[in-house]
């Protein structure tokens, strides 16, 4: 008897305790959407950092193809059987060609294949794929009897894994381009290109180039397909380019000038990449910008992957951490003109000066550019002074064109407060906020935008990433802990889509042997690429965006860290789905019931997408999907309109529920 009383008492006590402790259900108000979510919401930030463009998405395999690096033969090795003085000379025609002054002259006397050669090491080697066609091309000039050029692909041991011969067809002393293609017979991550010269005479060479056949969309001289596919798979709302700090440059001379990045590639003037010298702990002396990938190609890329283009232009100020050089106000006009001309280049009729240039490059239809950034991480009254001139000129000509303005390098502090106040007083369209911060910052700031003015300037979270070691430290890692803190923070961006209308993780790409900045969204070597846990978080947000924000609360409060939970909800008008996002940053599993209010009929079969792992887990080339989403079906109680979720420790969930 006693035992029965004890058991019953224990049962009653446990039930009461469970009832007392059961968390209040989370409520989603489906009937009254809070605000719209812009199609641009989740985008990408591209910069030529970490070998992002040259040695990255730009599929050119030859490094220093036009001998314009500071050391003209950097990346090249002269191979000689017998030494003859003056056989290989660098020449400079700066008086005739300022954009591409240098070339190499090779003089041979009865040379056979194997006597005199030039080998290019590529960008940390060349990625070569078995069976693939490689297109070798040069610009050459010669007068006497033709000197043959034998091109060989080499593997890491120096064995020939592909070859072709180019016999110049012109001997009129003028520059010509000629090409030969051949197939590789093996796969090699550390390949090289060797040229042997055969014949009698002199040949001048420039723009020595090697491209794989399998570029993005098969465009000759195009982009590395696997890397671009990773971007396309994000279905980004926008693509910001070309940076980042390279917009500003080390000094004004080193700034990014879009007009020098269009037209024939041999006329695009190379400059040093400012990441070449930025970090003493990650020097990159061979990092230059060839601009083979320029503004036309960026606009085309945006169009290809269905994103809005978001170019960022120099505002007349160089990087304030470097030279801090500013252009005097009375000399700002060409900078402003560049901005106006860019809009014409992108959108102008083919009879306009710049619209015609676009058409000549193969795109008569306008790109329909809608926005641009003026300045990257610029700050201070000097910035505001210059920005006002840009804004006045651009808005006068294009009143509906949206401008993105900088709020400096940090999301708080005196510089930020000053700019935030000034820009809001100016009625800025978008204020670009940057935060490279510790995971704890992201967790604490999930409610950052809850109190932002709904009617004022919009926010572009233009660069952010969770840094496990806080700051641009080489020891940061793309862990699940970092990605989960971003997922938690992003619930706050989504909830506040009325204010935050664009967001992009930064930086985007990093080459495992050529990076300066860590962490990054996608890591590559010469043959492969993999997405980090942060990549999959970005993708989950982008692919499960929805069109309207829904209110999602517990005890009438948004979930911004209570019990380490973070949540947001949206409604997708196109598919009639409710989309829930919940991050559990707790080391314990938690169960939550979610009540969907204001909905008439639900499909009981819902989709549940989950990312869950140990906080220190990472993805690698070998285990590229170690931390990545998996999907299963769950059942929603269509009668009570409730769904119960068991949230695993350190997990992120997306739930898609169809309304009928």
Instruction: Cite the active site residues.
Output: 377
Among 325, 377, 429, 433, binds ligand AHR (CB under 6 A): 377
Going through 399-531 in order, the beta strands assigned E by DSSP cover 402-406, 430-437, 458-466, 500-505, 509-511, 522-524, 529-531
Least gap, CB of 640 to ligand AHR (angstroms): 47
d(CA 420, CA 406): 9
Q: Between 146 and 373, name the residue whose CB sits nearer to ligand AHR.
A: 373
Least gap, CB of 552 to ligand AHR (angstroms): 31
* Residue 175 buriedness (CB in 10 A; 0-12 / 13-18 / 19+): middle
Q: Between 409 and 584, name the residue whose CB sits nearer to ligand AHR.
A: 409
d(CA 508, CA 496): 24
Q: Should residue 244 be labelled a site residue for ligand AHR when binding is judged by CB under 6 A?
A: yes
Counting residues that bind ligand AHR (by CB under 6 A) gives: 12
Alpha helix stretches (DSSP H) within 95-234: 225-232
Is the CB of residue 59 less than 8 Å from the CB of residue 263? no
- Residue 195 to residues 47, 141, 363, Cα–Cα distance (Å): 32, 16, 35
522 HSE (CA, 13 A, CB side): 27
Least gap, CB of 275 to ligand AHR (angstroms): 8
Among 507, 531, 546, 558, binds ligand AHR (CB under 6 A): 507
Least gap, CB of 448 to ligand AHR (angstroms): 19
Number of other residues whose CB lies within 10 A of the CB of residue 487: 29
Q: Should residue 319 be labelled a site residue for ligand AHR when binding is judged by CB under 6 A?
A: no
Tokens representing 598 are: 């204001």
Residues from 460 through 489 that contact ligand AHR (CB under 6 A) = 463
Going through 360-439 in order, the beta strands assigned E by DSSP cover 371-374, 402-406, 430-437
d(CA 47, CA 476): 19
Q: Rg of the chain over CA atoms, in angstroms?
A: 28
Q: Between 45 and 103, name the residue whose CB sits nearer to ligand AHR.
A: 45
Structure-token match 């290989």, residue found: 88
Q: Should residue 297 be labelled a site residue for ligand AHR when binding is judged by CB under 6 A?
A: no
Q: Between 321 and 621, name the residue whose CB sits nearer to ligand AHR.
A: 321
Is the CB of residue 342 less than 8 Å from the CB of residue 331? no
Binding mask 385-414 for ligand AHR (x = CB under 6 A): ------------------------x-----
CA end-to-end span of the chain:
54
Q: Between 517 and 523, name the residue whose CB sits nearer to ligand AHR.
A: 517
Q: Should residue 376 be labelled a site residue for ligand AHR when binding is judged by CB under 6 A?
A: yes
Q: Between 163 and 463, name the residue whose CB sits nearer to ligand AHR.
A: 463
Structure-token match 């592909």, residue found: 162
Q: Between 505 and 652, name the residue whose CB sits nearer to ligand AHR.
A: 505
Q: Which residue is nearest to ligand AHR (CB)?
A: 244
Least gap, CB of 524 to ligand AHR (angstroms): 16
Q: Should residue 506 be labelled a site residue for ligand AHR when binding is judged by CB under 6 A?
A: yes
Least gap, CB of 510 to ligand AHR (angstroms): 10
Q: Should residue 577 be labelled a site residue for ligand AHR when binding is judged by CB under 6 A?
A: no
Binding-site ranges for ligand AHR (CB under 6 A): 47, 49, 243-245, 376-377, 409, 463, 506-507, 517
């Amino acid at each position: 008897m006693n035992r029965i009383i004890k058991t019953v008492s224990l049962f009653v006590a446990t039930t009461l305790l469970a009832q007392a402790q059961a968390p209040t259900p989370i409520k989603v108000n489906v009937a009254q959407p809070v605000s719209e979510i812009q199609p641009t919401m989740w985008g990408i930030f591209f910069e030529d950092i970490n070998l992002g463009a040259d040695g990255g998405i730009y599929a050119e395999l030859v490094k220093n193809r036009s001998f314009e690096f500071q050391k003209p033969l950097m990346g090249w090795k002269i191979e000689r059987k017998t030494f003859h003085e003056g056989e290989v000379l660098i020449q400079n025609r700066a008086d005739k060609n300022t954009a591409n002054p240098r070339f190499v002259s090779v003089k041979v006397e009865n040379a056979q294949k194997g006597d005199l050669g030039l080998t290019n090491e590529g960008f940390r080697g060349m990625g070569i794929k078995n069976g693939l066609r490689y297109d070798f091309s040069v610009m050459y000039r010669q007068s006497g009897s033709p000197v043959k050029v034998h091109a060989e692909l080499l593997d890491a041991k120096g064995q020939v894994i592909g070859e072709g011969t180019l016999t110049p067809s012109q001997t009129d002393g003028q520059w010509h381009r000629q090409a030969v293609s051949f197939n590789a017979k093996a796969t090699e991550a550390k390949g090289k290109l060797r040229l042997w010269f055969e014949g009698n005479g002199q040949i001048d060479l420039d723009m020595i180039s090697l491209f794989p056949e399998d570029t993005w969309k098969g465009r000759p001289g195009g982009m590395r397909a696997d890397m671009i596919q990773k971007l396309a798979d994000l279905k980004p709302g926008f693509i910001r380019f070309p940076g980042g700090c390279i917009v500003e440059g080390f000094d004004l001379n080193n700034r990014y000038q879009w007009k020098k990045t269009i037209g024939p590639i041999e006329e695009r003037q190379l400059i040093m990449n400012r990441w070449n010298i930025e970090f003493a702990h990650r020097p990159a002396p061979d990092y230059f910008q060839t601009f083979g990938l320029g503004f036309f190609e960026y606009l085309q890329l945006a169009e290809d992957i269905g994103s809005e283009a978001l170019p960022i232009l120099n505002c007349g100020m160089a990087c304030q951490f470097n030279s801090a050089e500013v252009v005097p106000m009375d000399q700002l006009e060409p900078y402003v003109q560049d901005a106006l001309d860019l809009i014409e280049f992108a959108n102008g009729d083919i009879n306009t000066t710049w619209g015609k240039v676009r058409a000549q490059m193969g795109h008569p239809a306008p790109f329909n550019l809608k926005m641009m950034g003026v300045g990257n991480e610029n700050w201070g009254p000097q910035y505001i002074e210059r920005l006002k001139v840009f804004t006045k000129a651009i808005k006068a000509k294009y009143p509906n064109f949206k401008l993105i303005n900088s709020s400096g390098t940090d999301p708080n502090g005196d510089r930020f407060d000053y700019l935030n106040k000034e820009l809001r007083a100016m009625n800025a369209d978008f204020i670009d906020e940057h935060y490279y911060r510790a995971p704890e910052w992201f967790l604490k700031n999930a409610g950052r935008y809850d109190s932002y003015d709904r009617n004022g300037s919009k926010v572009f979270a233009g660069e952010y990433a969770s840094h496990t070691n806080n700051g641009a430290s080489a020891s940061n890692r793309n862990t699940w802990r970092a990605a989960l803190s971003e997922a938690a923070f992003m619930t706050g961006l989504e909830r506040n889509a009325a204010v935050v209308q664009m967001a992009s993780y930064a930086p985007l790409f990093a080459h495992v042997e050529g990076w300066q900045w860590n962490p990054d969204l996608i890591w590559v070597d010469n043959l492969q690429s993999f997405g980090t846990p942060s990549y999959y978080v970005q993708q989950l947000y982008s692919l499960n965006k929805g069109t309207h924000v829904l209110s999602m609360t517990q005890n009438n409060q948004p979930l911004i860290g209570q019990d380490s939970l973070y949540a947001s909800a949206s409604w997708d008008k196109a598919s009639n789905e409710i989309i829930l996002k919940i991050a559990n940053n707790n080391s314990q599993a938690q169960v939550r019931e979610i009540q969907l209010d204001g909905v008439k009929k639900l499909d009981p079969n819902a989709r549940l997408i989950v990312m869950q792992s140990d906080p220190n887990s990472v993805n690698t080339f070998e285990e590229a999907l170690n931390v990545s989403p998996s999907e299963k079906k769950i059942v929603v109680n269509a009668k009570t309109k409730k769904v119960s979720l068991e949230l695993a420790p350190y997990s992120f969930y997306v739930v898609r529920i169809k309304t009928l």
